[in-house]
Amino acid sequence: MMNSQPASDTLSARQQAIVPIAALAAAGDIPRLSVALNRGLDAGLTVNDAKEVLVQLYAYAGFPRSLNALGELMKVVDARKHRGVQDAWGKEPTRPTPQGDELLAAGTANQTRLVGAPVKGALFDFAPAADVYLKAHLFGDIFERDNLDWQSREFATVGMLSALLGVEPQLQSHVSISMNVGITEAQLNQVADVVSEQVNADAGSRVRAAIKRHLATKTAK
């Protein structure tokens, strides 16, 4: 399921809204996350769009940040309802998630398509459980859920990783994956601008540095 969208040089209002929600949730900045969630819902995100981003957060920033952010989303939706705002609930996944060996196979296929090649190496030989968890949980359980397209998931992931310290290799990897699913360099630079303006300048600088490193790597090849 390579559910990428047509290439564009600009972010839609909905895509712009995903980035600060993901980044602020990863940073654990709940007061500013509340503002970003309200803006996102006003910009056309559905409740399930926002929920899906915050569920995905657990794979990058852990369950505590994910659960706290989901709790804040509940509060925001409830407060908006009390103000008379009827937010669209949005789509649920259209099919059940595979289980067992089928889940591992689906996750492996998704990871290979996203990265552009099978993922292997000494790290995963050393810690094979981590390889299984990545394939089965992240690229299986999460990326098999088709109520959020892969481009949206990558906008969210780049936002999340931009807000975390010490994860530059992973951020660069997801810049590469973003381009593999049709996100353009111009859009990624816009992501950096959004992060700089709505999260912090250092996070935006990390995105720009990851883009630069990725493009240099491509040129070297």
153-203 per-position pLDDT tens digit? 999 999 999 999 999 999 999 999 999 999 999 999 999 999 999 999 999
Q: Are residues 184 and 85 in the same domain?
A: yes
Asked whether residue 124 is assigned to any structural domain, the reply reads yes
Give the whole-number percent of the chain exceeding pLDDT 70: 96
Residue 4: is its pLDDT beyond 60?
no
Q: Tell me, what CATH number does 53's domain have?
A: 1.20.1290.10
Residue range of the domain that includes 53 = 13-92+147-220
- Is 157 among the domain residues? yes
Helix axes 30-42, 63-82, angle to 10 degrees: 50
DSSP letter at 137? I
Residues 77 and 140 in one domain: no
**Token digits of residue 24:** 């602020």
The model carries a pTM of: 0.93
Q: Are residues 213 and 106 in the same domain?
A: no
Together in a domain, 79 and 26: yes
Q: Is residue 4 part of a domain?
A: no
| Distance (Å) of CA 137 to CA 42, 131, 145 | 31, 10, 11
pLDDT in tens, 196-216: 999 999 999 999 999 999 999
Q: What is the mean pLDDT of residues 106-116?
A: 96
Together in a domain, 35 and 108: no
Q: DSSP string of 147-183?
A: TS-HHHHHHHHHHHHHTSTT-HHHHHHHHHHHHHTT-
Is residue 1 scored above 60 in pLDDT? no
Residues 161, 184: one domain?
Answer: yes
Using CA atoms, how far apart are residues 187 and 9, in angstroms rounded to an integer? 5
Q: What is the mean pLDDT of the chain?
A: 95
Q: The tokens 């951020």 sit on which residue?
A: 171
* Chain segment 49-91, per-residue pLDDT in tens: 999 999 999 999 999 999 999 999 999 999 999 999 999 999 9
Residue 199 per-residue DSSP state: T
